[in-house]
Amino acid sequence: MSALIFTIVLGIILLYLGFVKNKAILAPVAIAGLMITLFLLFKDWGLGSKYFHDMIVFDNFSIAFNISMVIITILIFFFGIDYYEALEFHVAEHYALMIFALTGAFLMTSFSNLIMLFLGIEILSIPLYVLAGGKKYSYRSNEASFKYFMLGSFATTIFLFGVALVYGASATFYLPEIKIFISQFNGHLPPMMLVGLLFILIGVAFKVAVAPFHFWSPDVYEGAPTLVTAFMSTVVKTAGFAAFFRLLNMGLLPLPVPLEKALWVMTGLTLLIGNLAALKQTNFKRLLAYSSIAHSGFIMLAMLSQHNTSASVILYYTFVYSLATVPIFIIFILMKRAADGSEELSIFRGLYKQKPWIAVFLTILLMSMAGIPPTSGFMAKYQVFVLSISQGYLGISIVAILMAVIGIYYYFFVMREVFTEREQSYPIQVSKINAALIVVCGVAVVMLGIFVWNLPI
Amino acid sequence: MILLIILLIPFLTGSFLFLFRNNSSIRFVALAASVVNLLLTLLLAFSASASNFAINWINFMGVQFALGYDGISLIMLILTNLLFPFILLAGFNRDQKNVSQLNFLILSTQSALIGVFLAQNAFLFYVFWELALIPVYFILLIWGGDGRRSITLKFFIYTLTGSLFLLFGIIYLYHLTPGNHSTDFAIFRQLHIPESNQIWLFWILFIAFAIKMPVFPFHTWQPSTYTMAPTQGVMILAGVMTKMGIYGALRFLFPIVPLGVLYWQNTIIILSLIGVVYASTIAFRQSNLKKLVAYSSMAHISLMVAAMFVQNQFALQGLLFQVISHGVTIVALFYLVLIIKEKTGTQEFQQMGGLKLKAPQMSIIFLIVVLGSIALPLTAGFVGELLMITGLFRQSAWFAFIGGTTMILGAIYMLYAYQRVMLGEEKSTHEKITDLKSLDYLILVPLIAIILVLGIYPQPIFNLVEESVRSMQNLLSPIATVVSAIVH
């Protein structure tokens, strides 16, 4: 709880630091603040404290996910030092809004009451609507912001309608009570309850961009400032899946059959659409958007293969996925700058000849995304497959494996560009801090693959 | 411990070399490392005491970092470490870009291959299996010939598709293991999987190996990849990586899904024999020397696959012998293709002929290698192929008959190729051609010596594999009797 309060204060401090003309102090303050948050989170480990009439439960699950999200945010801020230096306008809001979004994410991992989940989603989303429009004079960025806002509020409304229906049927917002309520019916739920739950799931599915509620994500990812895209595809996604898992695990297990069927269809669709659509992309940001949808499919697979290690697998998956995604976005930003704003895949061509070490680490990161051993991305996918196969879902596992092959195809498509020579490659400049962070992430991605952990959460 | 050292020497040397920019001594250091590795391997092969190494890696997934070996692993290990010094030598005195990166990648491949052959844990096996592919992908992508961008991607995706099915199979087996699950081969071997499951599991596991070897009809990646690959890459692919497939099949299929093997035995043998005839026929029609050698390799490998699935003593001994013999012969052949290309500037038969007049010694060496490839008596190829065909004969005379066509068709197309390259009228473009250099002798003479020595005295190899062949046979024979008892 102290972490949550501290983070909100940190956001407000950052907002006021905007009055100070010196941009350079923002990132260090934000990073130092988040380090303290990290410490406060560690301190709460194992306590399982409950607040506000049990509406918030800071158990190990929520703390583990919060820690993972804070680490990734710190990483993004480190990269932000270089990124925001080049920008003219006020950047204090950007830091503050990301911190506010992070507090929303904290609520999404620790709710035990549907109202808290709703608040979490809203606190997370509203800063993101603003952040997506961060490039004020860019047509695309405005489009992204508007689209995200329209569709996002629509999804939230559906979610809220679902909550109302569930309350109407069960007279409670508390997940454990909903669980007891559901268990009375032996699988034959009253229609109002069923529709309510379905609406709730749709609302959450929208947030994590699971097909068929994924249409916003490529456009928003493409239009939003790249660092914000990196934030959305890592921290926001982690928060979304943590919430999704908590919702199922705390309130809905064992899943009523119609809902289970719906979720499996969504998983299959996500795997297929994410991967197949990524094949056709020539814009790198859109490619990563679809690949992010594809990864959602694998996480869904882990989530639906209910087992006591599912939570740990999802945590591991989202963390190593984020750890690889952020530096890939950063390398992309550097390439894009050198290539005068082009976002095509071909801007990567000739990178190996020009900056061999960056190329090597980009290769490692892409290999992790593709799931090639011994990177952690492989270990993550391996654990997902172990879960789904040991729970007996052989058919969808085969589909997932075929989709993993397609994933490898498009990541290697990028990699191939990196190692193809061209006469005139774009002269990219990598600042020392960015280079160091890329190396750290690359090494971490391999090390996490060799030292795999399994948290009892 | 010695196993760990053998595993790590190439990789560590390679990583060390990677830090340097192109320096003239890089090739020597790489070669020295691989020679040390070869000596250690021979020491291991002829020492009486067994060696193994195991530490826990990922406890909650039942994964141990366990290295060990039996006769089959040893054959593969010897082959790998024997060929890599020659593969590295093939890069000497040649104009290559980024020498340090290339040597790093070659040595990493070697380490990964050693890992595949030593792994005692299916998960570890899979990790090394994939790791072996990545450096080869980059060798082909960066140093390959025309059309490499699309061909390498096809090669990579093709092989990875198979691998991921293998991964599925490993996880499925893992979840069948009792108690605290494990991916240990020893535990996998004790599983009793119902026949109906073994029948589909067989294919899940086999596809990865079938693509790697390759078995007809999973071979379509191979000709274009071999043709485009740089010489060192194709030596690795044809010499060692094809054997990964054979090794994997021996390690996974026969001990773990024996009933599946019995069910599909004839199907696979027939597919392989189709591969034999198909590859031989196409080899005969080639107008390009490198492509011809590529197809001839496929024909020989197909015969080895057929022999593997016959599962009797002759076939197995012949197979393991042929593993060494084919590896050595194909590396020598591809090296000769490289020199001929360098000397004449072409691989097309149309523009070749009469090379013997300018380079008589090369033509003699080429002839010996060709004869080794077509299994003439007193060469290593003869011992292996004769044993395999004897084994096939025990299964069915027809199998032996069709398998025997590799020898006949092989003789036709290889001698025809020899004739078109070496004999006939001298081409005017051949004015400035000189004979072999000392480096070429350094590579070719030892390889030829191995072909001849093993052809005359094959006993050491048989001694190495004797025990493994017996245990492999036992895997199927009791079940075979049980099954036939049920049928009657």
Min Cα–Cα distance to chain A from B485, Å: 33
Q: Is B168–A405 a contact, with Cβ atoms under 8 angstroms apart?
A: no
Q: What is the pLDDT of residues B54-95, one digit of tens each?
A: 888 888 888 888 888 888 888 899 999 999 999 998 888 777
Give the dihedral sign, CA B63/B64/B66/B71: negative
Q: Rank A318-327, B225-234, B351-360, B418-427 by mean pLDDT and report only the highest.
A: A318-327
Which chain A residues have a beta carbon less than 8 Å from that of B142? 419
Q: Does pLDDT of A76 surpass 90?
A: yes
Which chain A residues have a beta carbon less than 8 Å from that of B156? 408, 412
**Structural contact between residues B211 and B162, judged by C-beta atoms closer than 8 angstroms:** yes
| A409/B contact by beta carbon, under 8 A | yes
pLDDT computed for residue B83 by the predictor: 92
Strand A56-58 vs strand B53-58: parallel, antiparallel, or unpaired?
unpaired
Min Cα–Cα distance to chain A from B205, Å: 13
Residues 31-70 of B with CB under 8 A from A: 58, 60-61
Query: In chain A, whose CA is at the least distance from the CA of B176?
Result: A390
Q: What is the pLDDT of residues A285-320, one digit of tens each?
A: 999 999 999 999 999 999 998 888 889 999 999 999
The partner residues of B53 in beta bridges, in order of sequence, read: B67
Which chain A residues have a beta carbon less than 8 Å from that of B181? 390
Strand A56-58 vs strand A49-51: parallel, antiparallel, or unpaired?
antiparallel
Min Cα–Cα distance to chain A from B73, Å: 22
CA B453, CA A440: separation in Å to the nearest integer?
53
For residue B359, what are the CA distances in angstroms to A166, A364, B434? 89, 47, 6
Q: Is A374–B167 a contact, with Cβ atoms under 8 angstroms apart?
A: no
Average pLDDT over residues B185-200: 86
Average pLDDT over residues B446-463: 88
Which chain A residues have a beta carbon less than 8 Å from that of B134? 367, 372
pLDDT computed for residue B488 by the predictor: 46
Instruction: Provide the 10 A C-beta neighbour count for residue B230.
Output: 21
Q: Does pLDDT of B433 surpass 80?
A: no
| A258/B contact by beta carbon, under 8 A | no
Nearest Cα residue to B356 out of B343, B374, B347, B342: B343
For A245, the token pair is: 């898992």
Buried b (16+ CB within 10 A) or exposed e, B81-104: bbbbbbbbbbbeeeeeebbbbbbb
Query: In chain B, whose CA is at the least distance from the CA of A407?
Result: B157
Name the band, by pLDDT with cuts 50, 70 and 90, for residue A125: very high
**Structural contact between residues A204 and A244, judged by C-beta atoms closer than 8 angstroms:** yes
Q: Is A385–B167 a contact, with Cβ atoms under 8 angstroms apart?
A: yes
- Which positions ≥6 away from A322 have C-beta within 8 Å? A68, A72, A234, A235, A237, A238
Min Cα–Cα distance to chain A from B136, Å: 14
Q: Does pLDDT of B97 surpass 70?
A: yes
pLDDT computed for residue B480 by the predictor: 52
Residues 435-454 of A with CB under 8 A from B: 452, 454
Average pLDDT over residues B292-319: 88
For B242, the token pair is: 């094809």
CA B284, CA B371: separation in Å to the nearest integer?
16
Average pLDDT, chain A: 89
How many helices (H) does chain B have, and how many strands (E)?
20, 2
pLDDT computed for residue B127 by the predictor: 92
Phi, psi of B118 (to 5 degrees): -100, -15
Q: Is A389–B168 a contact, with Cβ atoms under 8 angstroms apart?
A: yes
Mutation choice for A interface testing from B55, B108, B160 by most A CBs within 10 A: B160
Mutation choice for B interface testing from A351, A394, A401 by most B CBs within 10 A: A401
pLDDT computed for residue A161 by the predictor: 95
pLDDT computed for residue B247 by the predictor: 92
Question: Percentage of chain B with pLDDT > 90?
Answer: 20
CA A30, CA A26: separation in Å to the nearest integer?
6
Q: What is the pLDDT of residues A84-121, one digit of tens each?
A: 877 766 788 889 999 999 999 999 999 999 999 999 99
Mutation choice for A interface testing from B64, B158, B167 by most A CBs within 10 A: B167
Q: What is the pLDDT of residues B105-141, one digit of tens each?
A: 999 999 999 999 999 999 999 999 999 999 999 899 8
Name the band, by pLDDT with cuts 50, 70 and 90, for residue B483: low
Average pLDDT over residues A145-161: 93
Q: Is B153–A416 a contact, with Cβ atoms under 8 angstroms apart?
A: yes
Average pLDDT over residues B355-362: 81
Q: What is the pLDDT of residues B370-400, one digit of tens each?
A: 888 888 888 888 888 888 888 888 888 888 8
**Structural contact between residues B249 and B209, judged by C-beta atoms closer than 8 angstroms:** yes
Phi, psi of B218 (to 5 degrees): -100, 25
pLDDT computed for residue B479 by the predictor: 54
**In this complex, how many residue pairs, one in chain A and one in chain B, have their CB atoms less than 8 Å apart?**
65
| A408/B contact by beta carbon, under 8 A | yes
| B149/A contact by beta carbon, under 8 A | yes
Average pLDDT over residues B30-43: 90
Name the band, by pLDDT with cuts 50, 70 and 90, for residue B49: confident
Min Cα–Cα distance to chain A from B93, Å: 24
- Which positions ≥6 away from A187 have C-beta within 8 Å? A256, A257
Among the residues of B286-432, which ranges form H helices?
Answer: 289-310, 313-344, 355-358, 360-373, 380-395, 397-422
Which chain B residues have a beta carbon less than 8 Å from that of A374? 127, 131
The partner residues of B66 in beta bridges, in order of sequence, read: B54
Q: Which of B291-305, B325-339, B414-428 has the lowest mean pLDDT?
A: B414-428
Mutation choice for B interface testing from A271, A360, A386 by most B CBs within 10 A: A386
Q: Is B168–A398 a contact, with Cβ atoms under 8 angstroms apart?
A: yes
Q: Is B138–A405 a contact, with Cβ atoms under 8 angstroms apart?
A: no
Length of chain A: 457
Top-confidence residue, A89 or A450: A450
Mutation choice for B interface testing from A419, A447, A448 by most B CBs within 10 A: A419
For B406, the token pair is: 């590799």
Q: Is A405–B164 a contact, with Cβ atoms under 8 angstroms apart?
A: yes
Q: Does pLDDT of A21 surpass 80?
A: no
Top-confidence residue, B149 or B478: B149
pLDDT computed for residue A88 by the predictor: 63
What is the C-alpha radius of gyration for chain B, rounded to an integer number of angstroms?
22
Q: Which of A105-109, A364-368, B224-228 has the lowest mean pLDDT?
A: B224-228
Instruction: Collapse the DSSP code of A283 into the 3-class scheme (helix H, G, I; strand E, B; otherwise coil) and give the result.
Output: strand
For A12, the token pair is: 């407000």
pLDDT computed for residue B50 by the predictor: 74
Q: Does pLDDT of B252 surpass 80?
A: yes
Q: Does pLDDT of B335 surpass 80?
A: yes
Q: What is the pLDDT of residues A205-222, one digit of tens each?
A: 998 889 889 899 999 999
Q: Is B127–A373 a contact, with Cβ atoms under 8 angstroms apart?
A: yes
For residue B283, what are the CA distances in angstroms to A243, A422, B406, B419? 60, 36, 11, 15
Q: Would you give the DSSP letter of residue B63?
A: E
| A399/B contact by beta carbon, under 8 A | no
pLDDT computed for residue B262 by the predictor: 87
